Amino acid sequence: CTMLCDFMERCFSLHLQLPPYFLLLHCDSKEHCLSHRRTDVLMMTPWFAPIVWEGTYNSEILNEEFRQRNVTVGLTVFAIKKYVVFLQKFLETAEMYFMVGHRVNYYVFTDRPEEVPKVALKDGRNVVVLKVQNYSRWQEISMRRMEMISYFSQKQFINEVNYLVSVDVDMRFNDEVGVEILSNLFGTLHPGFYASRRQSFTYERRSASQACVPRDEGDFYYAGGFFGGTVKEVYKLTKKCHEAIMLDKAKGIEAIWQEESHLNKYFVYHKPTKILSPEYLWDDNIGRPQILKKRRFLAVPKNHAAIRNK
């Protein structure tokens, strides 16, 4: 206990100088429940939330735990306008790697329900198409995700699933993404900032915006393309972010990175109970550092200009 406290005290004191990974204590065997297998990264936050990397958990133990709990996971994805073209690969790879062996509802938000592809699904897994409005600007479409997830969480999801995971559609699953990610509230370290200091984070800094984070606040920079938790916690997050977006909109303000800015503001003052490493949201265009043992969810190469606002 004394050694652990000393270690955490050093983590606290060095927090701003260290890359944002913190030690995860885990049980990879009954005999060595306080051991850890990764020595190249630190994996626990100052508020004792684990950061999930390959080699920090036992998937067999976790899968059995969640099977006993009879858990169903909802995966929300937005395929608006031409982004519907990414659905085929997204769903096919999700069937290969996402929550294998567990029940899943794929909630597909789209303005083109007739273009949602038919993909072979395993038992206990369903595609649920939710028709929504599109908007002229891709930034508006992006921000409206918070509104839609909030609305359907209260109206529908709360009665159908235990956990919600929200991800971007222009991606493909490349390796296992399982129940190790599940927690009351989780976010994902942004691949462009996971090793950066606070001063480099692209938070919204304008005090007039509801997304503003003061320069002496903030722990990590989270990606808007992968977050989740229990339906109750995701509802609270998305409702708060949507309300903040609407307050900004009434003043003619749009946060620098739209809903991602509001998500980061929320996580500053409502700490995630688990954080996912950039294994869970990666882009091969930025290389592949040695600490990245897995690339679980990968950006699909695309021409943004040809896809957005079409």
Residue-level pLDDT at 281 = 98
Between CA 80 and CA 193 the distance in angstroms is 28
Which pair of tokens denotes residue 293? Answer: 């043992």
User: Domain map of the chain by residue range?
Assistant: 2-34, 38-307
- 95, 147, 233, 260: the catalytic one is 260
Residue-level pLDDT at 87 = 97
26 is in an annotated binding site: no
168 is in an annotated binding site: yes
What predicted TM-score, i.e. pTM, was given to this entire model?
0.85
Contact assessment for residue 188 and residue 207, using Cβ atoms and an 8 Å cutoff: no
80 is in an annotated binding site: yes
CA angle 217, 198, 16 (to 5 degrees): 90
Residue-level pLDDT at 139 = 63
Element (H, E) at 17: none
Residue-level pLDDT at 143 = 63
78 is in an annotated binding site: yes
Residue-level pLDDT at 131 = 93
Contact assessment for residue 167 and residue 256, using Cβ atoms and an 8 Å cutoff: no
Residue-level pLDDT at 144 = 80
Residue-level pLDDT at 49 = 96
Domain 38-307: top CATH class: alpha beta
Q: Give the pLDDT confidence of 240-299 residue by residue, as tens digits.
A: 999 999 999 999 999 999 999 999 999 999 999 999 999 999 999 999 999 999 999 999
Q: Assess whether 64 carries a catalytic annotation.
A: no
Which pair of tokens denotes residue 96? Answer: 């290969």
256 is in an annotated binding site: no
169 is in an annotated binding site: yes
- Which residues of the chain are under the pLDDT cut of 50? 1-34, 36
